[in-house]
Amino acid sequence: MEVATMSQALQLHAQILKLGPQNDVASRNLSNLFTFAALSPSGDLNYARLLLSSNTLPFNSYFYNTIIRAYSRSPDPTHHSHALSLFISMLHGPPTHLIPQPDNFTFPSVIKCCALLRLAHQGKQIHGLIAKMGFDSDRYIMNALIHMYSEFGDLGVAREVFDRMPDRDVVSWTTMIDGLVNADRPIEAMGLFESMLEGGVEVNDATVVSVLRACADVGALSAGRRVHGIVKEKGIGCKGSNVSTALIDMYAKSGCVESARKVFNGVAEKDVFVWTAMIYGLASHGLCEEAIDFFFKMEASGVKPDERTLTVVLLACRNAGLIRECYMFLNDVRKRYGIKPTIQHYGCMVDLLAREGRLKEAEDVISTMPVKPDAVLWRTLIWACKVHGDINRAERLVKHLQLQDESADDSGSYILASNVYASVGKWCNKAEVRELMNKKGLIKPPGSSRIEVDGVVHEFVMGDYNHPEAEKIYEKLDEMVDKIRKEGYDPKVSEVLLEINDDEKANQLLHHSEKVALAYGLIKTSEGSKIRIVKNLRSCEDCHEFMKLVSKSFHRDIIVRDRIHFHHFKNGDCSCKDRW
């Protein structure tokens, strides 16, 4: 008998009890009932667990595996713990109790629960047990292990498992690529994707989405276009929006918003994810009024915004300096759309007010908002205080921030405090902060910039002499400085917060990673072509002015994506209108 609701399931169970456990029909129906209760969206997992505990089910690992799989699919962490408890009972159940031993179908779900619960030690123990029981060549188990180790951030072991697999499928490759992307190793992910193609493995939607994320992270436009070609050639992602959303995001983050728009226009059934990706692309490139217009078009089309959509429309308001509109949308989050405002929503409002110099108002928003502010929000305001010269407020907020639990091991908070003290010449205070960082083992993330040339991504750090063409790059840098000095370039040595002379400060500024990447781009790309650079940190004021003047003197369009904003430099101007 087929069941579709728990009401029907209960009726079936009553019939089974009447027939008795020895009846073959009753036994088959009991198995069907259990499977429905455990795995169906209309089922009842607790009821399935009761059936398992009743000892009326046949002695078969299928029933334990099914309930463990059901627990692993649940969003409830307590269910993940229940799955591991059941697994342990399979391993150590008393001899008098008929509990089957785990088999190859048991382990993928158990490994998934370890990953979800972040139980690294237990996960490694289970890996050892898998090898001991001879399941270390099972593809499904190995795929689950790759995912688990990736979730733990142990990419070395994940890659070792992957490399040792005798039989990899598309899931194996995709899981490893996705793990590398999530670990901020996009260039490795792109290389692995190339190996996958060379091996003749057919890619699927999930593979494409992962590698497009990698391309977006580094701004690898050529590589992203190649993936787009594969998508069109093989018809990947025709039935869903995930690939289209990833393509829009890749093009936008690679500085090619018009290509993002073409993909968007070609999507027949636009869902909230497609709309949100396009709105974000427009907002991040400074096309803020158009982004807001797209938001209203989305609503008019009958698509309801979600939490992320409202974040990006607030981002558009922030980038455009639209304070009144930002307040309006923030008010609408709860009242009109019934969504609980998040720290990201308030963060856009605070950032906008802080950028505009309305520092007290920004602080009032942080102090009165119903969400607990995090270190990032306080740092946003402190940075604005430094920029606008309100050092007293900055110092007070630095001291407040240092008392917050979440900033205790956060290098960003200490670095900002150090910069605030240095900006007013309090070198002893700065030294104390740096010493405290050293004691805590906190390290400032190095600034780096990436540029794609002829399909290859090159990464530079400050004062990078490791590149094989370093000598040519620095010769080009000197040429650039000589040329833009005629346009009025004067290094903003106040940006260097070190106790060194102005000449040394100017030299440090010249060697910032985005300038090194720009020099390489000018050497390697043809005249008239756009130069695209991706930076992992916020651009400094000197680099921003440098890019403007180079765009004018060398007649090049330069697109820089920093941690906060896209900057389109053309003929001495920037799309951000010097607001970043």
Looking at residue 342, what is its pLDDT? Answer: 96
Give 427-461 pLDDT, tens digit per residue: 787 777 777 777 777 777 788 999 999 889 999 99
The residue written with tokens 């290098």 in the block is 411
Q: How confident is the model at residue 26 (pLDDT cuts 50, 70, 90)?
A: low
Give 456-481 pLDDT, tens digit per residue: 999 999 888 889 999 999 999 999 99
Whole-number Cα distances in Å, 236 to 205, 208, 229, 243, 261: 6, 8, 10, 8, 19
Residue 436: Cβ-neighbour burial (10 angstroms; 0-12, 13-18, 19+):
middle
Looking at residue 559, what is its pLDDT? Answer: 95
Q: What is the mean pLDDT of residues 195-219?
A: 96
Q: What is the mean pLDDT of residues 159-169?
A: 95
H or E, element range at 280: helix 272-284
Of all residues in the chain, what percent carry a pLDDT higher than 70? Answer: 95
H or E, element range at 247: helix 242-253
- CA–CA separation, 167 and 180 (whole Å): 20
- CA–CA separation, 119 and 114 (whole Å): 5
Give 7-19 pLDDT, tens digit per residue: 887 777 777 777 6
Q: How confident is the model at residue 96 (pLDDT cuts 50, 70, 90)?
A: very low
Q: What is the mean pLDDT of residues 205-220?
A: 96
* Whole-number CA gyration radius for the chain: 28
| HSE value, Cβ hemisphere, 13 Å, CA-based, for 286 | 17
| For residue 310, pLDDT beyond 70 | yes
The residue written with tokens 């002379």 in the block is 501
CA dihedral 388, 391, 393, 396 (to 10 degrees): 150
- CA–CA separation, 5 and 383 (whole Å): 57
Looking at residue 425, what is its pLDDT? Answer: 75
Give 400-427 pLDDT, tens digit per residue: 887 765 555 667 777 777 777 777 777 7
Give 71-84 pLDDT, tens digit per residue: 999 999 999 999 99
| For residue 95, pLDDT beyond 60 | no
